[in-house]
Amino acid sequence: MHRYAKLARHSMKKIKMPQFHHPNDIRSLFSQAMSDMYRDEVPQYGSLITLVRDVNAATLQADPALRAQLAAAGELDRLDIERHGAIRLGTGQELRLIRRMFAVMGMHPVGYYDLSVAGIPVHSTAFRPVDEHALQRNPFRVFTSLLRLDLVADRALAAKAEGILRGRQIVTDRAQDLIATAEAHGGLTQDEAQAFVREALETFRWHADATVDGQTYADLVAAHRLIADVVSFKGPHINHLTPRTLDIDAVQREMPARGIDPKAVIEGPPHRKAAILLRQTSFKALEEQVTFQGQPGHHTARFGEIEQRGIALTPAGRTLYDQTLAKARADAAGGGDYVQCLTAAFADFPDDDAALREQDLAYFRYRAAGTFQGKAASIAALIRSGALAADPQIYEDFLPVSAAGIFQSNLGADDQSNYAANANQDAFEDALGAKVIDEMALYAEIQNASLVRALQALGQGHLIPS
């Protein structure tokens, strides 16, 4: 009887549990489909991918130690698939729907970025995988901005824009059905996942036929080029996809030779031995032919970007970074050469992994890399002995000052309207229908869990921090 019940339960489980396509696999399918679509739409993106592959291969060949370290840390496999994209949404309803769409792919809203400080009428989050395994499988993330019409001084124009946005549908009916299916069933089957990716792609496709007439477009541009980009089209076209390089200085140098015209400076920290956070550069948006209700015109929306990622900083490290960057920018604004000011300001920022770890400025991931006889006196001693390895945790997020620089370089420098700093995370989360996840908590969790695991594996449980 007992055995029978067990068997019955077992087979019932088998019948009732459909074979779900893992969210990590759906995300991989989706990021590959996006990459293929963008390469078709923006051929220069293909040139950029080739350049980044060449530079990464050369960097790894020239630095076997780096290759070994990346391989041991599980970072090598994801290097060539890694990329991020960006979209700009018009309404809170759109943001909520996009949150549900990304959730199907295991991407959740992490962090809140207020761009109003930089004169850009949006606030943003990054949809990304959150757990260690998912990040290693495929870290694809999308920087997602929500337009803030509340910051637009011309209230009549804001009302008109709101009316235009109310009339559009950015997610197909079929995609909406599949999102609801995933929510109700707890996942999608392989066939459903494939249909979902195909339908989801439609949301991010470029549409050359604007939904507004030329005069409305001109009025929107006059308010802010970004407002025109969001309001004038059928949907939130993907505006860039960004591959990850191991040597952004080399890519920046090489771009002109490959027919790509980069922005003047690399955003973020300067070149260092121990890479921190995120360095980014981009090339200018393309001028595209569009039609305004039948009338030919043009619009600049899409661009290319490259990023180099380094170690994630703790709150203390981040405060030091923000202060150091602010000093560099102030010095440059006072007439100094930007790169020189940046390098000088960062001279005091600890520049090796050991110092970053000992001063608790950065996040690591621990693993057992050998054995240790007896009881070690400290974690530092275990690391010194080689039994415990501390790999840098790669920064998976974005930087608001850098993002502002990227926005500005592709919107055109003449668009620097100034809004008062006006963060409103509550309004953003209301629209989102969820709280954004605190990125620092995610890094800390990975660090703590990996340390406990490694210490247990080494038989050094007495060193587990309480």
8 Å CB contact between 16 and 126: no
Tokens of 282: 């981009």
**Nearest CB to ligand OOG, comparing residues 125 and 280:** 280
Closest separation in Å from C-beta 464 to Ni ion? 38
8 Å CB contact between 399 and 144: no
Task: Indicate whether 305 belongs to the interface with Ni ion (CB under 5 A).
Answer: yes
Long-range residue pairs from 26-29, CB within 8 A, at least 24 positions apart, any chain: 26/104, 26/105, 26/106, 26/188, 26/193, 26/196, 26/197, 27/105, 27/106, 27/107, 27/129, 27/134, 27/137, 27/138, 27/140, 28/81, 28/137, 28/138, 28/140, 29/193, 29/194, 29/197
Looking up tokens 């679509």, which residue turns up? Answer: 37
8 Å CB contact between 84 and 242: yes
Among 366, 407, 428, 443, binds ligand OOG (CB under 6 A): 407
Task: Indicate whether 280 belongs to the interface with ligand OOG (CB under 6 A).
Answer: yes
Closest separation in Å from C-beta 204 to Ni ion? 14
Closest separation in Å from C-beta 112 to ligand OOG? 14
**Nearest CB to ligand OOG, comparing residues 196 and 321:** 321
Among 24, 91, 116, 145, binds ligand OOG (CB under 6 A): 145
**Nearest CB to ligand OOG, comparing residues 369 and 403:** 403
Q: Which of residues 32-91 bind Ni ion (CB under 5 A)?
A: 86
**Nearest CB to ligand OOG, comparing residues 277 and 446:** 277
Task: Indicate whether 245 belongs to the interface with ligand OOG (CB under 6 A).
Answer: no
Closest separation in Å from C-beta 185 to ligand OOG? 33
Cα separation of the two ends of the chain: 47
* Length of the chain in terms of residues written: 466
Task: Indicate whether 116 belongs to the interface with ligand OOG (CB under 6 A).
Answer: no
Residue 351 is inside which H or E element, if any? none
**Nearest CB to ligand OOG, comparing residues 82 and 391:** 82
* DSSP code at position 437: B
Task: Indicate whether 403 belongs to the interface with ligand OOG (CB under 6 A).
Answer: yes
Residue 464 is inside which H or E element, if any? none
Task: Indicate whether 397 belongs to the interface with Ni ion (CB under 5 A).
Answer: no
398 binds, among Ni ion, ligand OOG, none (CB under 5 to 8 A by kind): ligand OOG
- The burial of 243, by beta-carbon neighbours within 10 Å (0-12 exposed, 13-18 middle, 19 or more buried), is given as buried
Size of the site for ligand OOG (CB under 6 A): 12
88 binds, among ligand OOG, Ni ion, none (CB under 5 to 8 A by kind): ligand OOG
Looking up tokens 């929500």, which residue turns up? Answer: 146
Where does this chain bind ligand OOG (CB under 6 A)? Answer: 86, 88, 143, 145, 239, 280, 305, 398, 402-403, 406-407
